[in-house]
């Protein structure tokens, strides 16, 4: 019991020394507190505000459209033309000749009525249209590849849906039926691929972005705990302390990991709050509902999510310390530590690929496995063998990298 209390007291004193040493560096304060909690959230809010301003400008501006000259009078084309002409957001340009006006910028939307292509028939001679049956046609709307494309498509679809609903109500009334007795089902788009279900989740995106701030927040503390000791000639005094070197390196790892977790947590909380407030404050943002983000994480899975976040912080911190321990100056460490930071930034992008899933094979890939576990938990998957393999691999990687770091720091 006394040995345990003595070990804890020694570790506490070493941690106090490490935090005092780390916080002497102003870069640590900037990249641990200012950048994650202030700079990045402000950039996010600024981006949302610019998106809102752009969308509001697009909804208020009139979109010029034209109809192919030799297609005037076509039945389906006339219906769409009539709907757009009645909408204040669209302005018809007479005399449009075709795609030349679209590409030149004279119009932003070109309507045409073209024959329906039968993709199910490979042999054209296998199916012949009777002479008395007119060929099937469809309306084709062409827009240039620009930011207003999505807005144009939404406007046209809204008009068509509204006109269809009016026509349907008239048909019901004509048959002596009450339209109120019929519920028109809402069409909802859903991605049924399990691996993609949370790929574009706003919550998962914020968590993955905060993981980069975990790495960024641990970078400068890792430099201060390793190479800066050599630059300031304080490593010799540390080697003379009458304590086991494992206590020293453990204290360094705990201090770096704690600051990395603090940076990531501050960024996650700040980004989530700012993005929610920005979206709530603008009713014109389409497709984003701040407080309707449904997570598939149960109460039983939440501890595993927190453990996964902690495991990622430990792995990141141990690798950052290992990289910085190869250098003997702060300047050299700043250059070399950009390599793992680049890897930490790219791995989440790979983990978001829908074709990569957590299984017994990917569970053995360091860094990637932890992120796949996080995505899997956000998908609502139950805890399985790949999750267990990933969690068991974390202490092995941390112990191995910490051992190498200790050899580089303390052994001459």
Longest dimension (CA), the chain: 102
Residue 316 main-chain phi, psi, to 5 deg: -60, -45
For residue 141, the cross-strand partners are: 111
Residue 139 main-chain phi, psi, to 5 deg: -85, 130
Instruction: Tell me how many degrees the CA angle 345-228-252 measures, rounded to the nearest 5.
Output: 70
Helix, strand, coil percentages for the chain (3-state, nearest 5):
65, 5, 30
Contacts of 79 (CB under 8 A, 6+ apart): 163
DSSP state of 400: H
**Could you tell me the domains of the chain?**
2-55+196-410 (no CATH), 62-123+131-181 (3.40.190)
| pLDDT of the residue at 17 | 80
What does each C-alpha distance from 4 to 18, 360, 395 come to in angstroms? 21, 38, 21
Distance between CA 117 and CA 8 in Å, rounded?
Answer: 76
What does each C-alpha distance from 174 to 168, 180, 181, 182 come to in angstroms? 10, 14, 14, 14
Pair type for strands 90-92 and 137-142: unpaired
The residues of the chain scoring below 70 in pLDDT are 1-2, 48, 51-52, 54-61, 69-73, 117-135, 144-161, 163-164, 168, 172, 177, 179-202, 275-298, 412
DSSP assignment of 196-210, as one string? GTTTT-HHHHHHHHH
| pLDDT of the residue at 283 | 46
| pLDDT of the residue at 70 | 65
Distance between CA 370 and CA 351 in Å, rounded?
Answer: 9
When the pLDDT of each residue in the chain is averaged and rounded to a whole number, the result is 76
Distance between CA 313 and CA 211 in Å, rounded?
Answer: 8
CA-based R_g, the chain, Å: 31
């Amino acid at each position: 019991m006394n040995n345990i209390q003595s070990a804890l007291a020694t570790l506490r004193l070493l941690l106090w020394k490490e935090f005092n040493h780390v916080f002497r560096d102003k870069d640590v304060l900037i990249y641990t507190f200012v950048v994650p909690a202030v700079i990045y959230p402000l950039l996010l809010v600024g981006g949302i505000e610019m998106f809102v301003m752009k969308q509001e400008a697009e909804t208020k501006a009139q979109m010029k459209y034209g109809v192919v000259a030799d297609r005037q009078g076509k039945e389906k084309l006339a219906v769409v033309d009539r709907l757009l002409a009645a909408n204040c957001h669209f302005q018809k340009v007479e005399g449009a000749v075709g795609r030349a006006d679209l590409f030149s910028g004279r119009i932003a939307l070109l309507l045409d009525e073209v024959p329906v292509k039968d993709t199910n028939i490979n042999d054209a001679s296998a199916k012949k249209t009777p002479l008395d049956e007119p060929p099937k046609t469809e309306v084709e709307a062409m827009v240039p590849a620009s930011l207003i494309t999505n807005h144009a498509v939404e406007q046209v679809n809204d008009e068509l849906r509204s006109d269809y609903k009016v026509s349907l109500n008239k048909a019901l009334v004509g048959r002596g039926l009450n339209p109120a007795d019929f519920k028109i089902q809402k069409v909802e788009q859903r991605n049924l691929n399990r691996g993609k279900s949370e790929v574009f989740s706003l919550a998962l995106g914020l968590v993955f972005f905060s993981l980069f701030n975990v790495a960024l927040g641990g970078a400068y503390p890792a430099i201060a705990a390793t190479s800066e000791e050599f630059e300031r000639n304080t490593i010799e005094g540390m080697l003379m302390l009458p304590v086991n070197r494992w206590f020293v390196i453990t204290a360094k790892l705990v201090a770096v990991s704690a600051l990395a977790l603090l940076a990531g947590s501050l960024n996650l909380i700040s980004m989530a709050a700012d993005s929610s407030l920005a979206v709530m404050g603008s009713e014109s943002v389409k497709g984003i509902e701040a407080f309707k983000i449904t997570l598939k994480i149960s109460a039983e899975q939440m501890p595993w999510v927190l453990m996964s976040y902690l495991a990622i912080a430990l792995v990141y911190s141990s690798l950052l310390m290992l990289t910085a321990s190869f250098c003997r100056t702060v300047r050299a460490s700043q250059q070399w530590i950009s390599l793992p930071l680049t890897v930490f930034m790219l791995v989440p992008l790979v983990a978001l690929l829908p074709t990569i899933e957590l299984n017994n094979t990917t569970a053995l890939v360091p860094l990637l496995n932890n992120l796949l576990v996080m995505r899997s938990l956000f998908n609502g998957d139950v805890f399985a063998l790949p999750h267990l393999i990933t969690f068991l691999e974390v202490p092995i990687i941390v112990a191995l990298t910490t051992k190498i770091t200790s050899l580089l720091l303390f052994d001459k």
